[in-house]
Copies of this chain bind each other. A is one copy, B any other.
Amino acid sequence: MHRFFIPKECIKQNKISLQGEPAHQISHVLRLQPKDFIVVLDNSGWEYEVKIEKASRELVQGRVVKKDFCANEPAVKITLYQALLKIDKFEFVLQKGVEIGVSAFVPFVSERCVTRKPAESKIERWKRIIQESAEQSQRALLPALSPVVSFEEACQQVGNLAILLWEEEKSSRLSRILKSDSFQEAQTFALFVGPEGGFPLSEVKYAQSHGIIPAGLGRRILRAETASLAAISAILYEKGELG
């Protein structure tokens, strides 16, 4: 069944009413018709099974026939602080990160970033990628996308257990941190991944001064986007949330 995140106000007393892009998507792109079923989500954690009653390009209406709490969200909330990458790689991290189970994305600009701060239209595109990936992978909540911040701002805003992947860190490995008591108890977690050229030592030290722990991923050198996804997979696996 197709899944759609919709604004909360589109659900009223067991009736849904959609206009604009979602109506066009349902009636015209997917060619769904009255009596077809869809699942809608209002980003509250609940999912609503809906029987379509009217479907035109301008307006789709339907009736909620079932309401369930969706248990697909990981209990551990990972915020991925991802340096801007070349556009296709950044979008790749968003799409795959949502599937694997990231809860929020904070894009940042650091010293070695070669990609400029994106235009507003790009941010809208990123939000669509996140939404489509969340619908396809059956997430119950829509991962948040923060505005682009500087590396320093990113470091200043983390309050919880935070790790920074650094390929030159040989003594502190990610696995050791993930098996520590503080991680095992943690319900929120921040992961910092740098741009294609990595972090210079000065940035690593700045992060450390804000309590962020540098960690290596092992002996092979992973591209930035691969490092993000491998680390997220490892974190969620360790927490029993993947596999």
Contact = CB atoms under 8 A, between A and B. Distances in A.
Interface of A: 71-72, 96, 99-101, 136-139, 173-175, 178, 215, 217-223, 226, 229-231, 233-234, 236-238, 240-243
A229 B219 CA distance: 17
13 contacts: A72-B219, A96-B223, A96-B226, A99-B222, A100-B220, A137-B223, A139-B220, A173-B243, A217-B243, A226-B229, A229-B230, A230-B233, A233-B237
Nearest to A173: B243
What is the total number of copies of this protein in its complex? 2
A79 B164 CA distance: 30
B174 A222 contact: no
Contacts of A101: 220
Nearest to A96: B226
A215 B242 CA distance: 12
A243 B175 contact: yes
Contacts of A139: 220
A19 to B, nearest CB: 28
